[in-house]
Amino acid sequence: MQTREIPFKLGIQPIAWINQGIPEFPDLYSSEEIIKQMASLGFYGTEMNPKFSSEENFDDILHKYDMEITSQWKSVYFSDPRLIEAELNSFKLHADYLNDLGCKVVIVCDVGGSGLPIPERNSVQPLNDKQWVSLVKGLEQAGDYCNSLGMELVYHHHAATVIEKENEITELMDRTNPDLVSLLFDTGHAFYGGADPYSILINHFDRIKYVHLKDVRKDEIENCVVNKETFKHGVINGMFTVPGDGDIDFVPILKTLINRKYIGWVLIEAEQHPQKANPYQFSKFAKKYIEELLTKYSKGI
């Protein structure tokens, strides 16, 4: 069970165990083994992914280990005016699906022009005004639909997409209705995009309704940028890791979440090769690291 030192809801991403976006990473664990390991570490929430959704008895697995689904990524092309209607219809079906699972947020990211899941960092073209207008329109209509279900839309700023850098995140927040569009704060992607993650957290805290905590290996990110490598190759080369194992200072981030009484989901995340970075051991390390920081903070250390 979650310890009392953690006031927010702490979960874990399955991407450390299974990452379908990078076929070079092997599929080593059954869905039940992944959920069992998560639960044994004291987590009780995780995100849905294709491996889980393909299981006919996945609901039984969740119930067996007292785990719940928190959300799931949804790629959209709202920035393309020609695709708005079809994209909204697809989004609504996805929101309905997550609503049936009991989720309260829908994660969305516009991948127009990015080539995700394997984008080139330098190939993304900034949005022109027409595309900005289309993106905002699509997000707000999708957010309105989420609200009708008692859910919230959270936008995932993401490496090598049109909303990656700090100024792009700020413009998105400025252009969108805060009642309809919220923000997923991701420490690793903030750093990759050239920002101080703490700055993103402070400047947009009131819009943040969902959090991904991952650490970075600064040297690997710099190599990725200098060598103009794909995001995929950066991940393969180990640019991401779990909190406490890299170069991000999580102390002010966690203090802010506590001081400003954040009570939503916070998911530990690290896209790593499961044979090089054992998912169970790295997740255990990250949870212990976060708990120890919060305990020290609660004692004024």
Q: What is the pLDDT of residues 217-249, one digit of tens each?
A: 999 999 988 888 888 899 999 999 999 999 999
184: confidence class by pLDDT, cuts 50, 70, 90: very high
Pick the range with the lowest mean pLDDT from 56-60, 63-67, 222-226.
222-226
Domain ranges in the chain are 66-298
122: confidence class by pLDDT, cuts 50, 70, 90: low
The answer to whether residues 104 and 152 touch, using CB atoms and an 8 Å cutoff, is yes
3 or 79: which leads in pLDDT: 79
Q: Which of 293, 301, 207 is nearest to 258 (CA)?
A: 293
Fold of domain 66-298: TIM Barrel (3.20.20)
Question: Can you give the pLDDT at residue 194?
Answer: 94
Residue 118 has pLDDT above 70, yes or no: no
Q: Which of 76, 108, 102, 137 is nearest to 209 (CA)?
A: 108
Q: Which of 40, 63, 61, 41 is nearest to 51 (CA)?
A: 61
SS3 content of the chain, % helix, strand, coil (to 5): 45, 15, 40
Question: Can you give the pLDDT at residue 124?
Answer: 82
> Which residue is associated with the tokens 């929101």?
95
Residue 85 identity:
E
Q: Please, where are the H alpha helices in 153-246?
A: 166-175, 187-192, 197-203, 218-226, 231-236
Alpha carbon distance 176, 174 (integer Å): 6
95: confidence class by pLDDT, cuts 50, 70, 90: very high
Residue 63 has pLDDT above 70, yes or no: yes
